[in-house]
């Protein structure tokens, strides 16, 4: 996600957006549990185009 947003460090992404989705860690754990138990098939794009705003 950090790379997709154009952040060099994932901590920047976390510090900027963590308050928006306070339940994200729980939701991520639930998603990953379902992927690892093969209840859900995860399909993500192989590449992301960075979103960069002009200064």
Which of 31, 26, 29, 25 lies closest to 44 in space, CA to CA?
31
Tokens coding 37: 């138990």
- Band of residue 54 on the pLDDT scale cut at 50, 70, 90: low
Q: What percent of the chain has pLDDT over 70?
A: 75
Q: Taking the complete model, does pTM exceed 0.85, yes or no?
A: no
- For residues 1-17, give the mean pLDDT: 82
Share the mean pLDDT of the chain.
76
pLDDT in tens, 22-47: 787 888 788 788 878 887 776 766 56
CA 33, CA 50: separation in Å to the nearest integer?
28
Residue 48 has pLDDT above 70, yes or no: no
């Amino acid at each position: 996600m950090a790379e997709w947003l154009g952040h060099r460090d994932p901590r920047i992404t976390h510090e900027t957006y963590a308050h928006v989705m306070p339940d994200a860690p729980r939701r991520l754990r639930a998603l990953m549990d379902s992927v690892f138990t093969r209840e859900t098939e995860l399909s993500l794009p192989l590449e992301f185009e960075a979103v960069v705003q002009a200064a």
